[in-house]
Amino acid sequence: MERISSEQDNPYPDFVNRLRLLISKNPEIITLTLSNIFTMRLIGNKTHGDLAEIAISEFINQYMYDFHSIHVGKDLYRAKKREEDIKVVNEITKTEFPISLKAYGNGPLQLSTNKSYTMFPRLSEEGVIITDRNRIFNVLDSSAFDDFYSANVLPLIYDEKTKRCNIMVFDSVKARNAVAKITRIDHGHGRKHPVYLFYDSDDNYICEVRYGGASANALQRGLWTHTIRAQKFFTSVTDGWIDYSHNKVLVKLFSCALVASSSGHQTALDVINEDISKIKESTQKR
């Protein structure tokens, strides 16, 4: 039994494939971009996450010629019907789709907040342990689990100790087809709220659904996985780990820009745009 998924239903997989192709031909531009993004951790531990959103949006606009991207922004969060940080339009098909950016360390990764709080209650209807495949697929194919498939998450994963990074996309259909057991855990490891853990037939971890009730915080709700424990359910858009380095000139540029005038910003922007044009020219020659 397999869930039918098509690019017509969701254009995100096609976007990911196009991004992978671009990176395979021009690995230096994603290395440069990710290095700049993770350099922002020198400013603050959470700074890189917000700046990753505008960086990837600009990356799409500059280098992915058939796509246009708009940064949605945090102020629209409460009005959002879906989880999104950037909105992307395929300029050929005119199809519009959201992308949720996640700049996380290698390890736990939230795929969806499940804002509508449908997953955990649906699982609770099935009891503590679910091993019957028909029951498992009935759960995973129910409308309660729409977020399992529709969350277009683009995770920018980093390992700060080794200065490596990776763009890893969770394959929800592959994960769905591999689920052989779902187990509810209520206690242990300082757990305040229950969680449902998903395993394959070899008892390998796939993902989990956390409680998400009114008393739960952001880390205690939604659909989560783990980039190490569930590695085989990810596809690397960068074709594996790539080395990154800190760009301390960028930090200095930011600090100076914050005390400079808009005319100074415009002058700097003109120079930066010239640099981007040179980068684009070099990619077009390949």
Alpha-carbon torsion angle 253, 67, 29, 105, nearest 10:
80
Q: Which domain holds residue 121?
A: 12-246
Residue 6 included in any domain: no
Helices (H) and strands (E) in the chain, counts: 9, 13
- pLDDT value of position 9: 76
Residue 261 included in any domain: no
**pTM reported for the whole predicted model:** 0.89
| Residue whose tokens read 């280098």 | 63
Residue 186 included in any domain: yes
- Total domain count, the chain: 1
Residue 252 included in any domain: no
Residue 1 included in any domain: no
Each residue's pLDDT tens digit in the chain (286 positions)? 555 444 457 899 999 999 999 999 999 999 999 999 999 999 988 899 999 999 999 999 999 999 999 998 765 544 455 678 999 999 999 999 999 999 999 999 999 999 889 999 999 999 999 999 999 999 999 999 999 998 899 999 999 999 999 999 999 999 999 999 999 999 766 677 899 999 999 999 999 999 866 666 767 789 999 999 999 999 999 999 999 999 999 999 999 999 999 999 999 999 999 999 999 998 876 6
Residue 256 included in any domain: no
Cβ–Cβ under 8 Å, residues 180 and 199 = yes
- pLDDT value of position 251: 96
- Classified as helix, coil or strand, 98 is strand
Q: How far apart are CA 100 and CA 47, in angstroms?
A: 16
Residue 282 included in any domain: no
- pLDDT value of position 84: 82
Pick from 186, 194, 155, 193: nearest CA to 172 = 155
Burial of 2 (0-12, 13-18, 19+ CB in 10 A): exposed
Cβ–Cβ under 8 Å, residues 178 and 200 = yes
- pLDDT value of position 78: 46
- Cα-based distances in Å from 94 to 14, 16, 56, 67, 101: 13, 17, 20, 9, 22
Residue 267 included in any domain: no
| Residue whose tokens read 């209650």 | 121
Q: How far apart are CA 94 and CA 87, in angstroms?
A: 12
